[in-house]
Amino acid sequence: DYHAHGQVAWQLLITFDLLFYCSLITTTTVCSYYYGTATNLGWTFISFIVVFPITWNISEAYKRRESALVCLARFKSLALNIYFAHRDWACPGSCEKDENILDVEESPHHERVRQVLNQLSGYLGDYLLVPCTNNTRHL
């Protein structure tokens, strides 16, 4: 179990961005140490450089999450509306005038619509769970 967790974490965490930034940080640290380019910076400047991007990324992540939840809620409501439309609307000639349209029993068509919508939901879940190697999906 731990091996599988480690493998998934390795595949999702080791990206081109991570390798690029780690090499950039290592290069600048080595250059400042060996060439003496270090300088005394104030903690206000350092904290602004560190804190601002983190807070901005967190707020943007919450905005993306809220937007995704709204889209998923719309998808779910539309799928339910499609199913109820197929279930409740009587086809011409399928009901007698005295019958209550809401008492229509499950037919093969209703079951097929349910299967198609379940497959569509499954495909959407598979698409959303595909790991990406960079941030292009977040744009």
pLDDT tens digit sequence for 86-111? 887 766 555 544 455 555 566 788 88
Which pLDDT score, from 0 to 100, does residue 12 have? 76
Query: What pTM, to 2 d.p., does this model score?
Result: 0.55
pLDDT tens digit sequence for 32-75? 888 888 777 777 887 888 888 888 889 998 999 999 999 999 99
Alpha-helical runs (H) found in 14-135: 16-35, 43-88, 108-128
**Nearest by Cα to 138 from 68, 49, 77, 72:** 68
**Nearest by Cα to 137 from 70, 72, 78, 68:** 68
List Cβ neighbours of 41 (8 Å cut-off, separation of 6 or more).
none
